[in-house]
Amino acid sequence: MTPVQSAQEYVDSGCCCDQFSKAHIEALIAECERLERYAYARGMERDAAYHKVENVISILMGVHALMYPPIFTTPDGIHMAFSPKDPTPNTILQELSDRIRAIPDKVLAARKEQS
């Protein structure tokens, strides 16, 4: 039972306290109901914003996954660099470009999904 429901039961039972009129208590109940609806709507907006951020993060992580790691130097001075299975730079750049170009479409698809 919510606080609003228990307050409504109190008013309906006719046991109103002397210092508060029934109209005053009903006005308070109406305000509590309004605030509950407001809090629910803000919670829904928060959840929608969270999903938008998560979607953008996953898109950017996909682009980031194509980036080369920095060259690593061991304590004894040896340099180590990443070398992909397909060493053709054109293949790597094309995949990176495709993912970057797909970002606006993925964002629009996510907006349509949420509305």
Question: Whole-angstrom Cα distance, residue 58 to residue 44?
Answer: 21
Distance from first CA to last CA of the chain, Å, rounded? 32
Residues 6 or more apart whose CB falls under 8 angstroms from that of 72 comprise: 79, 80, 81
CA atoms within 13 A on the CB side of 95: 13
- pLDDT the model gives residue 14: 63
Domain boundaries along the sequence of the chain: 3-114
- pLDDT the model gives residue 38: 95
Using DSSP's 3-state secondary structure scheme, residue 115 falls into: coil
Kind of pairing, strands 79-80 and 72-73?
antiparallel
Question: Whole-angstrom Cα distance, residue 85 to residue 76?
Answer: 27
- pLDDT the model gives residue 9: 72
Using DSSP's 3-state secondary structure scheme, residue 18 falls into: coil
Enumerate residue ranges in the chain where pLDDT < 50.
Answer: none
